[in-house]
């Protein structure tokens, strides 16, 4: 994506734009940035010159605890990221920053539209110094211990998924994959704070009745082959498995048997959604999904008595995409 063009005289920025740029600049300067430096940055980069307007934005962001202010020895206000992560959920759902109200209450199609409009801004925010050094380590720990929607999923399906990690090397491999997803995948990023109805719909679609969803998504993929990053051999395996299910009237058992499997499936669903919905970041997502280390990690935890690992990954993508985007439920 090209650099944001400076605002010309008489032109207006979108709602929340300046607030978001202030947050990005402060989060990228965790050792502090002065008010005068912020004003200069906004003037040089975006032709914003209204000092009172900038001061009002800073005050509003401070009152919501998205940033903090310290009057230093030089008698100038210095601005810093917050001391805690308690208000980041509020930041990611703040209408005055993003121009939308309660993302978590929106229908799936509206969430897709919101992410499409704010995709690049979400990625920038999650790659600031503050997120890299402070926020992401905590999010990765959450993914290792209790990923979003785990409790709801356990309750819905009467399950009790537990960790099956066996070594420090296993944990390091998971941490690396989660770190990459939280640096490149906007769907996964937002899901960490506002459990995404996109990912939830996909996971539930897989778990409820894999046969039904695979049948429906097979038709969907055949009708729109250019939209799906699948290979012919995998689709043939789906057809073969469908025939065996029809003959035996068999429905597979639980696909997720551990916290790692559930967390990895969530990550895999999110990045797969990104590949389809956001073509301009496809080339940054694709290397993660095709990386041998990623596939080894997935292969270790997505074991299932019914499927090969490759088929398991394919079925997750296939059913997740249908579950998240089809109007027929």
Look at residue 2 and tell me whether its pLDDT is greater than 50. no
Mind spelling out the 3-state secondary structure of the chain? CCCCCCCCCCCCCCCCHHHHHHHHHHHCCCCCEEHHHHHHHHHHHHCCCCHHHHHHHHHHHHHCCCCEEEECCCCCEEEECCCCCCCHHHHHCCHHHHCCCCHHHCCHHHHHHHHHHHHHHHHHHHCCHHHHHHHHHHHHHHHHHCCCCHHHHHHHHCCCCCCCCCCHHHHHHHHHHHHHHHHHCHHHHHHHHCCCHHHHHHHHHHHHCHHHHHHHHHHHHHHCHHHCCCCHHHHHHHHHHHHHHHHHCCCCCCCCCCHHHHHHHHHHHHHHHHHHHCHHHHHHHHHHHHCHHHHHHHHHHCCECCECHHHHHHHHHHHHHHHHHCCCC
pTM, whole model, 2 decimals? Answer: 0.81
* Residue 246 or residue 76, greater confidence: 76
Lowest mean pLDDT among 44-48, 62-66, 126-130, 270-274: 270-274
pLDDT in tens, 25-56: 999 999 999 999 999 999 999 999 899 999 99
The pLDDT score that the predictor gives to residue 32 is 96
pLDDT in tens, 278-287: 888 989 999 9
Domains and CATH numbers, the chain: 17-99 (1.10.10.10), 120-325 (no CATH)
pLDDT in tens, 277-326: 788 898 999 999 889 999 899 888 887 766 667 767 776 776 656 555 55
């Amino acid at each position: 994506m090209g650099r944001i063009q400076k605002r010309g005289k008489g032109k207006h920025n979108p709602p929340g734009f300046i607030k978001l740029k202030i947050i990005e600049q402060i989060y990228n300067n965790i050792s502090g940035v002065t008010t005068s430096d912020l004003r200069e940055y906004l003037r040089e980069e975006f032709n914003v010159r209204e000092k009172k307007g900038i001061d009002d934005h800073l005050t509003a962001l401070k009152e919501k605890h998205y940033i903090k202010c310290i009057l230093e020895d030089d008698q100038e206000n210095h601005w810093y990221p917050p001391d805690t992560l308690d208000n980041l959920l509020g930041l990611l759902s703040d209408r005055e920053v993003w121009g939308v109200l309660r993302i978590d209450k929106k229908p799936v199609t509206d969430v897709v539209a919101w992410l499409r409009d704010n995709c690049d801004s979400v990625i920038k925010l999650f790659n600031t110094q503050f997120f890299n050094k402070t926020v992401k380590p905590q999010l990765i720990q959450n993914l290792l211990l209790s990923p979003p929607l785990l409790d709801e999923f356990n309750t819905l399906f009467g399950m009790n998924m537990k960790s099956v990690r066996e070594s420090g090397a296993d944990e390091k491999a998971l941490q690396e994959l989660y770190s990459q997803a939280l640096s490149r995948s906007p769907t996964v990023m937002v899901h960490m704070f506002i459990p995404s109805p996109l990912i939830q719909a996909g996971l539930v679609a897989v778990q409820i009745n894999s046969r039904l969803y695979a049948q429906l998504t097979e038709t969907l993929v055949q009708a729109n082959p250019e939209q799906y990053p699948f290979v012919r051999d995998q689709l043939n395996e789906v057809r073969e498995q469908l025939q065996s299910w029809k003959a035996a009237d068999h429905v597979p058992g639980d696909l997720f048997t551990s916290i790692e499997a559930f967390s990895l499936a969530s990550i895999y669903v999110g990045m797969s959604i990104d590949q389809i919905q956001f073509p301009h970041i496809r080339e940054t997502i694709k290397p993660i999904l095709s990386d041998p280390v990623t596939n080894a990690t997935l292969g270790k935890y997505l074991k299932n008595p019914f499927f090969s690992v490759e088929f398991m990954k394919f079925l997750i993508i296939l059913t997740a995409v249908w579950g998240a985007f089809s109007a027929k439920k």
